[in-house]
Structure 1
Amino acid sequence: MSAGWASSMKLTLAGGLDGLLPQHLKDLVSCRVGDVGERLIDRLAEIFTVVLQGKVPANNCPFLCGGALTALNKKNGGIRSIACGNTLRRLLGKILGYGTPGNAEAVVHATRSFLSEEGKAKVLLKLDFKNAFNTIDRTKLLQALRADLPDYYALVWQMYRHSSELFFGDFVPKSESGV
């Protein structure tokens, strides 16, 4: 595992429950720290392997998969809640390609390739995921993932098999739908 993620992950992102910032990680693995940084990268790779295999101890999942919740006032009244997830989990997502520039382009190319194949009749369904963010049925998501992307099933199952805990001071609401 290299520290190449540091160039594509916004270092100013907020920390999650652990308070760990992307900038902290970049500093800890920089060449200035020498062998210590390399050993940390090796340990992070070991941790990420455990997470990818879905083997995080159940009592650690609320902290890995939950988030720190912040409440902001909307201009026209009401409250907008913002959840900030665990930095290591977000880093793993970045390494896997989630939220990476160019992924939308890959989807466009894959769609074009699918539609240009000869033979079977095809149907293309375009969904607006932005508005569906908190309405996706997690059970159906996991079923589809198991069928279509089995390599990622253990990771996602671990994250969504139970409700996620969102910590807001002493108040801990649960996120039970959506992703």
Structure 2
Amino acid sequence: MSLSEFITSAPLTPLLKSDGGIRPIAVGTIWRRIVSKVAMKGVGKNVAKYLNDFQFGVGISGGAEANLHSANRLLSQQHRDGFLAMLTVDFSNAFNMVD
């Protein structure tokens, strides 16, 4: 196993689903977290400038939480036509990538 594979790997824990299936849960190691923090110290501000208005999670303290609260506030408001839809897109589904 290479160093990069070690850092980016995570042990899987199988949890039983109500339909009898298994849901794999991955929990990253402390080494992954440390390496990620150190790497972001060096490039975080440049990444945040590059991504600019298109993200809220890199280099912005509490950005993801602010985004969640904004979405919750929007969804809880009454709208004139009584209809509101929100689309979320997940470009990768990690559960379907596990062998």
> When the two structures are superposed, what TM-score results if normalisation uses the length of structure 1?
0.25
By relative contact order (CA 8 Å, sep 6+), the higher-ranking structure is 1
> When the two structures are superposed, what TM-score results if normalisation uses the length of structure 2?
0.41
